[in-house]
Chains A and B, each alone.
Chain A
Amino acid sequence: MDNELLEKGHRFPPVSIVLDEAGVSQYLEAVEDAALPALCRDEGRAWAPPMAVAALALRGLMEAMGLPPGAVHGSQEFEFRRPVAVGERLASRAWVAHRSQRSGWLALAVEMEATDEAGEAVLAGRASVLIPQ
């Protein structure tokens, strides 16, 4: 883990994310989600699971942060601005919004935003992460 990457205000490089049909199927099977496929059948659309989009955005962020084993996810906020279609290409950006130390843990708050190819935000979020020191 590079501590310089985790200073308040640091902006991580954008990460490209796309959820294709196979990835969505794998995700829905893993989380046993029956509600989204039913909604998609009702609406005649192919939406990506909102938490799958969020998970991919988070994965890119966690990889960029280089978190050590034992890091813990403390809290999470998401706002889903609009549905994301299967196969849609997004860019996820994240930055360190807060950093503090307490009781042997480094506490970070990281804010993120995923945008579509037109630059419109489809997802916004804030994650708090505790890292053992």
Chain B
Amino acid sequence: MRPAKSTRETWTVGRDLPSLSKALTQEKIDAYARASGDFNPIHVDPAFAAGTFFGGTIAHGMLLLAYLSEMLTEAFGGAWLSGGRLKARFKGVARPGDTLTVRGRVERMQDEGRRLFATVECVNQAGDVLVAGDAEVRLDG
């Protein structure tokens, strides 16, 4: 449940962020291509993608970051949109048929709780980490 206003008192080190799950389909990848304008055939052309290193289509990395951003918006509200930072490494690929889960945990807080640092990740149904990252937000209150 997203707090109306994310404050220093809302969060403590070790607390989990609200996780989200998404069932990935080729239709959703295609919809993201239309919304973002990124029609790289590795994402939207199964015949082309079959002949590549990946052996089939893969989701846009930015789609996975959009899922992380939804979690961070849910957790921190406006603090994520105003001063939020994310550093993400793409470690694996998401494919149609995957069930993706984004999750995170508060790792440390600084400046009397005004700056919060969390680890975040996106994993598939096998537990493979597809995106690993570090997020930072500045909190009010």
- Residues of chain A at the chain B interface (Cβ within 8 Å): 23, 26-27, 29-36, 38-39, 42-43, 47, 49-52, 54-56, 58-59, 62, 67, 69-83
Interface residues of B, count at CB 8 A: 42
Scoring B residues 77 to 89 as 1 if CB is less than 8 Å from chain A, else 0, what string do you get?
1101111111111
B78 touches A83 (CB 8 A): yes
- In this assembly, does B61 line the interface, its C-beta being within 8 Å of a C-beta of chain A? yes
List of B residues within 8 angstroms of A35 by Cβ:
2, 70-71, 73-74
Write the chain B residue with the least CB distance to A74: B90
List residues of B (48-94) whose CB comes within 8 Å of A's CBs: 48, 52-53, 60-63, 65-67, 69-71, 73-74, 77-78, 80-90
A59 CB, min distance to chain B CBs, angstroms: 5
- In this assembly, does B37 line the interface, its C-beta being within 8 Å of a C-beta of chain A? yes
Write the chain A residue with the least CB distance to B23: A32
- Residues of chain B at the chain A interface (Cβ within 8 Å): 2, 4, 22, 28, 31-32, 34-38, 40-42, 48, 52-53, 60-63, 65-67, 69-71, 73-74, 77-78, 80-90
Q: Which residue in B28, B34, B40, B85 is a CB contact (below 8 Å) of A69?
A: B40
List of B residues within 8 angstroms of A30 by Cβ:
28, 31-32, 34-36, 63
Given contacts A23-B35, A30-B28, A75-B90, contact A39 B78 (CB under 8 A): yes
List of A residues within 8 angstroms of B62 by Cβ:
51, 54-55, 58, 73, 76
B69 touches A50 (CB 8 A): yes
B84 touches A56 (CB 8 A): no
Q: Which residue in B41, B53, B60, B69 is a CB contact (below 8 Å) of A49?
A: B69
A76 touches B78 (CB 8 A): no
A32–B36 Cα distance when bound, in Å, is: 14
Known: A54-B62, A69-B42. 14 other contacts (CB 8 A): A30-B63, A35-B70, A36-B70, A39-B2, A49-B69, A51-B62, A55-B38, A56-B37, A59-B37, A59-B38, A62-B38, A70-B42, A76-B61, A81-B82
